């Protein structure tokens, strides 16, 4: 549990890490043609609550994880191996969000650092293998979502301000051209652990999740 599943360019699915007794470093590949799972190279460290993002070059960027891992690595489907890449700037991260931008960089937002929920954000550049700071969010967030919109901006919704407290309803937009986050309309319901789906008409469906300790069955649309 708490692993990731990433669709690769070849149509197979990469599964990484998860929680057993501590974080798992193992990874495997699911082949939809055969319906079988096969082992692939292990990650350089055990991870759970991490993110795994498919890059335009076909590699997968794996960032952070439980235990506040300030590390990242790349999976190469051509070799089946993971290799270390540049580390995030903040001692972090888990419960963060990772979003592939149109320019090929990956936006990392929020999450949990050392005893604090973060408002900071940073960018990973596959061309250099480095993370650099970008503008901070207007709110601290963990367990939030970050969704690329058709106009190139990123919609960040909900989450938690402080671990153990109730969910928040606020939302904001990140503009990659300026590196700035600005508030946008709040959700009708505070949410964490929710799902977000970009619809064909450009609207965003926000569904379920939790408000404090209550599981939600309602949904709403951002337009």
| Residue pLDDT tens, the chain, 223 long | 899 999 999 999 999 999 987 789 999 999 999 999 999 999 999 999 999 999 999 999 999 998 767 899 999 999 999 999 999 998 767 899 999 999 999 999 999 988 889 999 999 999 999 999 999 999 999 999 999 999 999 999 999 998 667 899 999 999 999 999 999 999 999 999 999 999 999 999 999 999 977 899 999 999 9
**CA atoms in the 13 A half-sphere facing the CB of 114:** 4
- For residues 202 and 218, give the distance between their C-alpha atoms in angstroms, rounded to a whole number: 20
pLDDT score recorded for residue 169 = 97
Judge if pTM exceeds 0.75: yes
Question: By the 8 A CB rule, do 124 and 72 touch?
Answer: yes
Question: By the 8 A CB rule, do 43 and 82 touch?
Answer: yes
pLDDT score recorded for residue 137 = 98
* Residue in the structure block whose two tokens are 């350089």: 44
pLDDT score recorded for residue 100 = 98
Tell me how crowded residue 26 is: count the other CB atoms within 10 A of its CB. 16
Question: By the 8 A CB rule, do 104 and 126 touch?
Answer: yes
- Output phi, psi for 125, to 5 deg: -110, 110
């Amino acid at each position: 549990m708490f692993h990731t599943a990433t669709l690769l360019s070849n149509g197979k699915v990469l599964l990484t890490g998860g929680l057993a007794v501590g974080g798992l470093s193992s990874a495997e590949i699911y082949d939809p043609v055969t319906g079988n799972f096969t082992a692939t190279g292990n990650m350089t460290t055990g991870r759970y609550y991490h993110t795994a993002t498919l890059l335009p070059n076909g590699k997968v960027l794996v960032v952070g994880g439980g235990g506040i891992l300030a590390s990242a690595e790349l999976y190469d489907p051509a070799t089946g191996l993971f290799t270390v890449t540049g580390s995030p700037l903040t001692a972090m991260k888990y419960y963060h969000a990772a979003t592939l931008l149109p320019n090929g960089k990956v936006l990392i937002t929020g999450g949990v650092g050392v005893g604090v929920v973060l408002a900071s954000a940073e960018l990973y550049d596959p061309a250099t293998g480095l993370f650099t700071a970008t503008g901070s969010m207007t709110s601290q967030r963990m367990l939030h979502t970050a969704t690329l919109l058709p106009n190139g901006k990123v919609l960040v919704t909900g989450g938690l301000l402080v671990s153990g407290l109730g969910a928040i309803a606020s939302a904001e937009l990140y503009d990659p051209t300026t590196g700035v986050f600005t508030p946008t309309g709040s959700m009708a319901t505070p949410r964490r652990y929710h799902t977000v789906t970009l619809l064909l008409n450009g609207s965003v469906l926000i569904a379920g999740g939790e408000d404090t300790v209550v599981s939600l069955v309602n949904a709403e649309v951002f337009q």
